Amino acid sequence: MSNISSTPLPLDRKCSLALIAPLEAILFDIDGTLCDSDPLHYYAFREMLQEVGFNGGIPITEEFYSENFSGKNNEYLCSTVFHDWDLQTARKFLDDKEAMFRRLAAEQLEPVKGLDKLRKWIENQGFRRAAVTNSPRASGELMISSLGLSDFFEILVIGVECTRAKPFPDPYLKALETLQVSHKHAFIFEDSVSGVKAGVAAGMPVVGLGTRNPETWLTDAGASFVIKDFEDPKLWEALEELERKAEATTVAT
């Protein structure tokens, strides 16, 4: 799949999504976007890495986790953080870490504030929707199920099942292709630098979720604007503007 765009789309004004009206689809990352799952991933990595003596047995910091693990797919981690490990050993470790994460998530996963409100709005508007993640399929499916969103999403796209995972645009382009929607009428919710870069490269505006990563990281990666959660007034102002512009377009035609 080709790279449609490598720069953020121009916006009418700050916190605007007006250029994509009429809106047809919204694409969501999962980890850190639908749910604040990073603390669970961090805990699993910290405990398991310390157990195997990584970093001399000194527990990794949250900053180290954010910079090196957050938003990265397992194959990428094998070639970077664990480049000096035997490949099969690294893959087995990461599979075991994901299993630990799923055990934690099954009991502790909570939705990002305002998710239910946004879900109802999207359903009432009749927009298409997809979940797009770098997580393994088992983890992605578990998170969606735990959040009660199995019937909400039409498709689940897994990064490592594409030719290239995020930060490349392929997963988001696959979602658009499957939904049969143009990148000109869709936008993305993302919380990681890797994910923001993927969305921007796919030619869509990206609304950043500041659940864990600094706002400057996300805006520097190309996010159109960053929200605290799905109740943030900035988001709803942008969505209301989209509605008004779509209505104006309908009247004009």
**Three-state SS annotation for 48-96:** HHHHCCHHHHCCCCHHHHHHHCCCCCHHHHHHCCCCCCCHHHHHHHHHH
Catalytic residue among 29, 38, 170, 232: 29
Neighbour count for residue 86 (Cβ, 10 Å): 10
Contact 72, 134 (CB under 8 A): yes
Residue 229 catalytic?
Answer: no
Which DSSP state fits 253?
-
Cis check for the bond before 205: say yes or no (omega within 30 of 0). Answer: no
Q: Which two tokens stand for residue 209?
A: 């979720």
Residue 86 catalytic?
Answer: no
Catalytic residue among 31, 36, 170, 191: 31
Q: Classify 18 as helix, strand or coil.
A: helix
Beta bridge partners of 142: none
* Catalytic residue IDs: 29, 31
